[in-house]
Structure 1
Amino acid sequence: MTSTVAGRSSGTAAGTGAPAHLGMTLLALCSAGLVVSLQQTVVIPLLPRLLVELHTDVAGVTWLFTAALLTGAVATPLLSRFGDMYGKKRMVLLCMGLLIVGSVVCALATSLGVYIVGRALQGTSSAMIPLAIGIIRDTFPRERLTTAIGVVSGTMGVGGTIGMLVTGVIADRTTDPHPVFWMVTGCAVLATALIQMSAKDIGARHGGRPDFLGAILLAGLLVCLLLAISEGPRWGWGAASVIGLFAASAVLAVVWVLVELKVAQPLVRLPLLVGPMSSSANLASALLGFAMFGSFTLISNFVQAPHDKLGYGLSGSVLAVGLYGIPSSVLMTFFSFRTGRIVARIGAAKTLAIGAVFGGLATGWLAIFHSHGYDMIVSNVLQGIGFGIGYAALGTLAVQHVPMSESGIASGINSLVRVAGGSIAGAITASVLSAITIGDTGIPSLRAYVVSFAILSVGSFAAAAVALGNGLRHKHVRE
């Protein structure tokens, strides 16, 4: 690695000379990471049920998932910048507080609009992961840094699959979706207490003013883009409203870039987004987020599709969705703890490429083989290996080339593009499922799922290619 970690004192909190409670700190950060990733997926197995209960369609109910990803994409760089300015622990606690409030809103919701508001509040907690990585870089000695980052990054996939399993267990006993959100609330309260008691806020802080204009413009362009993609099949791709939304997103993107280039302390420092070493890392992150978050929704819907009525699907319950995800969760946990050794040997970029290949094989398998339960198990095994390795390596790749003082915002930007990729995946797959239907029924056909799984597979393989190119171009960089 470059000199960004030079001068660390082994076994102590960086720069303090005092012993760091590393075990408890890592436990607290992992607990918070699990809850954050859990909230991202608990709603997925409930989507078919909520579609009927809330009297909406596929595009409408998908916003329960997309809304959280969207607010996460905006909140992540903003709160990461606040972490560098006011303290990372303080911002982690803010993230968890918003998660608790959003969970309570969803637990009391009775309409689609209120659910979306609650999910949007929950989604802001996505900023917790890059903030946690920043705390690790501030606190852990160099010899434990890669493993600790890998473990926390790996909780993103683990919590997601656990969330679907727990949701399945609850949904198997009641048709009321609200207990799921009360469960998230309780877990978030416990994780917040652990953070408060154990995490240290010892990193250097930087003054400045927050870039609220940049945040507003970023939110606007993402909303316009995702709304155009998700509503295109229903409104018509040639409709003036859809064309106008695409045009608005393009204009807002240009204005946003100009603003970020001119303000003294931008929301997103563009060299960290598109610089020589950052661009490939961020593109790989976006593609991997596209593949993982997109697969969560598709697999849940496909498992619950009634085979006797549609001619495809596994006729599974909400619980079955979670049970199929157990191999993925176990393998993600296993590999998140062991990826640090692989990264130390061959580098984060090549390690990420290996994980992304397995991720591509997972959805590629379902595009070809999808008639039996064991096909789902094979796919989930491949997914667990792929995303366990890939996400653990991604945390290191995002920050290994930047100074310590910018680790929070660098990780935040990488997380932003990953979440944005997931948001786009949700919108695109919803569009495909809405466009390729069985006659005029509005019900997605088998071909719609095959096309969607193939798109996600291509995205994951593209992430592998980008990551491999990064590793070959920057062989000298090591954590």
Structure 2
Amino acid sequence: MYKNSSGWAAVGVLAFAVAVGTLQMTVVVPLLPLLQRQLGAPLTSVSWTLTAGLLSGAVAIPLLSSLGDMYGRRRVSLAALALLVAGSALSALSTALAPIIVGRVLQGAAAPLLPLAMGLARQGLPGHRLPTAIGVLSATIGVGSGGGMILAGLLDGDYRAVFWTLTGLGALSFALVAAVVREPRPSRAAGRPDLAGAALVSVWLVCLLLAVSKGGAWGWTSPLTLGLLCAAAAVAAVWVLTARRTAAPLIEIPMLLHRGTAGATVASFLLGFALFAAITTLSAVAQGTLGASVLQVGLYLLPTTVLMLAVSVLAGPLMRRFTASALVACGSVLVTAAALWLVLSRAGSDLYGAAAVLGLGIGLGYAALGTMAVEHVEPAKTAAAGGVNALVRVVGSSLAGAVGAVLLSSGGAGWSFGSAAVAALLAALFATIYGDFSRKEMA
């Protein structure tokens, strides 16, 4: 058990690492047109710099989360940060598209840092301090997401400078975690890694995200897109059947079906969709309609970033008075209001106002989702439960990118913001219907 000062220092270091791990997922988005010009490659090929990171992260989340439960979360966190540093340096040194994509695959290994950090916090902190700690860790996802846009703008879209900055931030995170974070009460899950399950999860996620990310370019009714979607469904069905018969599966199906956990899983998927749909559409509106630069887009999203972090600090006191499910539902309603605001009006001042409401809602929802996802599982499986929650959020964000692109090209920004509002409203309903509204302290 950590002492007070060392405990908060560890949480701060882990939050910084999570923010850096999230930064690498979003910083590539504004770089795509630049990479297309500088590398002389078509946009459909350059988009793989984004897709590769998402695919790698989607596969790494359940696998590294499970390995963390088995072999130590600190050790696996350091390995993920080392891969982030290696991938960032490779991308910074590259002058061709292929090695940049390989670097992005390595960077995607940082995606499981949030569930691993949640597991470390649960091991080292007393129950009454966990809501605040998990809230801070969860909300840093928004800080990293908004910070990616700002970083790309501050560095004037220089992809080498961006990747070198990520290299330095990753190395700093590695050094801080190694020096400050400990596993005072190691809790190892029994069994061996479920490599067959990891392979099946990898295959169906790759098929799904490939179809979603490339469906617009290939055609949503093309044989390749439909074939990948059918393959994803078939392999996912095989994975479910084998997971039920495996002693230590990569993802436990009963954990997914538990009433409290299922509510958190669906709400996380929907809020991930809502956040990504909102910020990508806001970016498109700012750059297209208002003629904003990449840096100005980041400034439009600054209220979201700041308020997400501010709300996370208040997560602990709030969850001592209200349940995690109630806070997720409340946050989702605020996200719905922000998206509807942008459906009705998208002037410059409205972008700032809606971004502020969005930050309040996502900050509240994400901070409480961390607790909602793990409060019903035993401590040894905290990282695995958090990994499931992070995984569905990545899938939801990926789907939002594809759906938003289709809606923006056909019906305009209003329809895309409307999809975010619908997703957030459904998240509120699932958190209300399937959440556990009995207050309890986590062990």
Q: Same fold (TM over 0.5)?
A: yes
Taking structure 2 as the reference length, the TM-score comes to 0.94
The equivalent residue for 2:384 is 409
1:209 aligns with 2:185: no
Alignment of 1:236-275 (within 5 A): 236-275=219-258
1:272-309 per-position Cα deviation (integer Å, ceiling 9, x unaligned)? 1222221111010111111223333333333222xxxx
Which moved further from structure 2: 130-139 or 154-163? 154-163
The equivalent residue for 2:374 is 399
1:132-151 per-position Cα deviation (integer Å, ceiling 9, x unaligned)? 00000000012211111111
* Cα deviation, residue 419, structure 1: 1.3
Residue type matched to 2:164 in 1? W
Which moved further from structure 2: 294-303 or 87-96? 294-303
1:305-340 per-position Cα deviation (integer Å, ceiling 9, x unaligned)? 2xxxxxxx2101111111112211211111010022
Distance across 2 between alignment mates of 1:477 and 1:154: 22
What is the aligned counterpart of 2:159 among 167, 173, 177? 177
Residue type matched to 2:394 in 1? V
Question: Is the 8 Å Cα contact of residues 72 and 126 (structure 1) preserved in structure 2?
Answer: yes
1:410-463 per-position Cα deviation (integer Å, ceiling 9, x unaligned)? 111111111121122223223444x52xxxxxxxxxx33322222122111211
The equivalent residue for 2:333 is 357
1:234 aligns with 2:234: no
1:288 aligns with 2:248: no
The equivalent residue for 1:345 is 321
The equivalent residue for 1:309 is none
Identical aligned pairs, as a percentage?
42
Distance across 2 between alignment mates of 1:453 and 1:64: 25
Which moved further from structure 2: 107-116 or 204-213? 107-116
1:32 aligns with 2:17: yes
C-alpha change, 1:147 and 1:60, in structure 2 (3 Å) is same
Residue type matched to 1:198 in 2? V
What is the aligned counterpart of 1:153 among 106, 117, 138? 138
The equivalent residue for 2:291 is 315
Distance across 2 between alignment mates of 1:355 and 1:54: 42
1:224-271 per-position Cα deviation (integer Å, ceiling 9, x unaligned)? 222223333433333222221121111111111112112221110111
Question: Is the 8 Å Cα contact of residues 189 and 381 (structure 2) preserved in structure 1?
Answer: no
Taking structure 1 as the reference length, the TM-score comes to 0.87
Question: Is the 8 Å Cα contact of residues 328 and 431 (structure 2) preserved in structure 1?
Answer: yes
Unaligned 5+ runs, structure 1: 1-11, 306-312, 437-446
1:303 aligns with 2:278: no
Question: What is the count of residue pairs matched by the alignment?
Answer: 441
1:225 aligns with 2:213: no
1:129 aligns with 2:114: yes
Distance across 1 between alignment mates of 2:401 and 2:41: 17
Distance across 1 between alignment mates of 2:400 and 2:8: 36
1:378-419 per-position Cα deviation (integer Å, ceiling 9, x unaligned)? 121111111111111111111111111211211111111111
Distance across 2 between alignment mates of 1:157 and 1:362: 16
CA RMSD of aligned residues (A): 2.0
The equivalent residue for 1:6 is none
Question: Is the 8 Å Cα contact of residues 77 and 413 (structure 1) preserved in structure 2?
Answer: yes
Return the index of the structure with the highest Cα Rg.
1
Residue type matched to 2:215 in 1? G
The equivalent residue for 2:94 is 109
* Cα deviation, residue 169, structure 1: 1.1
Residue type matched to 2:291 in 1? S
1:53-103 per-position Cα deviation (integer Å, ceiling 9, x unaligned)? 445566554443333222222111111111111111001101101111111
